[in-house]
């Protein structure tokens, strides 16, 4: 039997148990490598009969090394199953950890997942790994995550800002050279790069499409909370389109929803108005789902719909859903590219980069005004 020296992976349990930890083997006992300590550089060096530095050289390929030693070292590494401790390396080198901290509101939302995917694709060959966490759009959770990431000395910090978050606490980090990029929404209180969709123009295009097809009363169902950046921008685009067409802006036609269920309720509420809208504009993908499900439930094919953000089965609906598609993958790629440029020394002024949206006409916006709907 091996003496059970508390292994590294039991450190957490040890803390809880409050058991005093012994750092050396008890007399007459030897360590059993397979259960106890992970092998270190020194172990490999001892095995081969060289110095730790030589092993380091072979593994990192900096200094020279004879073919023979190299072989021996590699053999010992394989034999012992040695894997260099990256934390120890980083601490000595003094550089940042090769991770990129990413904070998004919701891991389960495919929009943000796709953003993350774009980031990963872009940074992979730089050897950076994603450290991810979800904020649930809570500024406190966002801050806690950021602090954790910063304590890890991440190379890059990317945030989809929560509503109400203030980012001035990051000033010193940015000044110290940490690349910080905000995605999907701009940061607050910090001059850092951000990458956002053309929300206002996109909403404008979508609403204009509805107007072009004869709609005069167009409902808007946006995100909650209402001061969310994307909601504000998209509402602005909605209003601009109305104004441009000389149409009045009715507060009663504007409402909001935080999830699919609320969006369905909001839909039903708008349609129940004395003078109901003939078309609906969905402020995001979740709202779109709610609207569509509610319309399907009520068999209301007479209501035109345009949604901000594409949804998976848009083309299979009847009518197929017209959308203002975002490009989350591109948002991720762009944000990552900007961050890497900063990492490479780009010291230019903070910029806001926009990623274009695209109106995809599929039919749901083209319904004629149903003056005769019940005929």
Chain residues binding DNA by CB under 7 A are 20-23, 37-38, 40-42, 49-54, 56-57, 59-60, 62-66, 68-69, 82, 84-85, 88-89, 91-94
**Least distance from C-beta 5 to DNA, angstroms?**
12
What is the H or E stretch that residue 59 is in?
Answer: helix 52-60
- Whether the CA torsion 276, 281, 286, 291 is positive or negative: it is positive
Window 106-145: residues binding a copy of itself (CB under 8 A): 106-110, 112-114, 116-117, 120, 129-134, 145
Give ∠ CA 52-10-55 in degrees, rounded to 5. 10
**Least distance from C-beta 153 to DNA, angstroms?**
9
Q: Which does 106 bind (CB under 5 to 8 A by kind): DNA, a copy of itself, none?
A: a copy of itself
- Between 58 and 115, whose beta carbon lies closer to DNA? 58
Q: Which does 40 bind (CB under 5 to 8 A by kind): DNA, a copy of itself, none?
A: DNA
Window 70-109: residues binding a copy of itself (CB under 8 A): 81, 83-88, 90-91, 93-97, 99, 106-109
- Between 95 and 368, whose beta carbon lies closer to a copy of itself? 95
β-strand pairing of 358-360 with 322-325: antiparallel
Query: What span, in angstroms and rounded, lies between the C-alpha atoms of 286 and 293?
Result: 11
Binding mask 7-26 for a copy of itself (x = CB under 8 A): xxxxxxx--x----------
Binding-residue total with a copy of itself (CB under 8 A):
77
**Least distance from C-beta 224 to a copy of itself, angstroms?**
19
- Between 25 and 356, whose beta carbon lies closer to DNA? 25
Phi, psi of 12 (to 5 degrees): -65, -45
What is the H or E stretch that residue 113 is in?
Answer: helix 110-123
| Contact assessment for residue 308 and residue 282, using Cβ atoms and an 8 Å cutoff | yes
Is 38 a binder of a copy of itself (CB under 8 A)?
Answer: yes
Query: What span, in angstroms and rounded, lies between the C-alpha atoms of 186 and 228?
Result: 11
Q: Which does 12 bind (CB under 5 to 8 A by kind): a copy of itself, DNA, none?
A: a copy of itself
- Between 160 and 254, whose beta carbon lies closer to a copy of itself? 160
Query: What's 108's DSSP letter?
Result: T
Q: Which does 138 bind (CB under 5 to 8 A by kind): DNA, a copy of itself, none?
A: none
Q: What is the dihedral of CA 183, 188, 191, 195, to 10 degrees?
A: 20
| Contact assessment for residue 203 and residue 235, using Cβ atoms and an 8 Å cutoff | yes
- Whether the CA torsion 239, 305, 200, 185 is positive or negative: it is positive
């Amino acid at each position: 039997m091996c003496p059970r020296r508390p292994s590294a992976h039991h450190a957490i349990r040890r803390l809880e148990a409050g058991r005093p930890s012994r750092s050396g083997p008890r007399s007459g006992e030897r360590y059993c490598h397979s259960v106890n300590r992970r092998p270190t550089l020194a172990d490999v060096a001892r095995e081969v009969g060289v110095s730790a530095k030589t092993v380091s050289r072979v593994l990192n390929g900096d200094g020279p090394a004879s073919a023979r030693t190299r072989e021996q070292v590699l053999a010992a590494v394989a034999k012992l199953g040695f894997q260099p401790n990256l934390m120890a390396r980083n601490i000595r080198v003094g550089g940042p950890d090769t991770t990129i901290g990413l904070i998004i509101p919701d891991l389960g939302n495919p929009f943000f997942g796709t953003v993350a995917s774009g980031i990963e694709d872009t940074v992979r060959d730089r050897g950076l790994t994603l450290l991810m966490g979800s904020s649930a759009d809570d500024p406190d959770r966002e801050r806690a995550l950021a602090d954790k990431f910063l304590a890890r000395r991440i190379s890059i910090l990317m945030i989809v800002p929560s509503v109400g978050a203030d980012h001035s606490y990051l000033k010193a980090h940015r000044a110290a050279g940490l690349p910080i990029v905000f995605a999907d929404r701009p940061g607050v209180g910090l001059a850092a790069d951000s990458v956002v969709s053309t929300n206002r123009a996109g909403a404008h295009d979508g609403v204009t499409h509805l107007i072009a097809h004869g709609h005069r009363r167009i409902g808007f169902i946006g995100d909650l909370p209402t001061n969310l950046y994307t909601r504000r921008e998209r509402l602005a685009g909605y209003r601009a389109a109305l104004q441009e067409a000389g149409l009045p802006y009715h507060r009663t036609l504007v409402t909001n929803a935080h999830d699919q269920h609320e969006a369905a309720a909001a839909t039903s509420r708008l349609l129940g108005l004395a003078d109901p809208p003939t078309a609906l504009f969905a402020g995001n993908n979740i709202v779109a789902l709610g609207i569509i499900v509610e319309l399907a439930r009520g068999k209301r094919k007479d209501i035109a719909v345009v949604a901000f953000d594409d949804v998976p089965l848009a083309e299979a609906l009847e009518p197929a859903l017209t959308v203002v598609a975002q490009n989350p993958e591109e948002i991720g790629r762009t944000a990552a590219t900007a961050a890497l440029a900063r990492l490479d020394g780009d010291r230019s002024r903070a910029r806001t980069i926009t990623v274009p949206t695209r109106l995809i006409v599929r039919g749901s916006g083209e319904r004629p005004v149903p003056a005769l709907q019940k005929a």
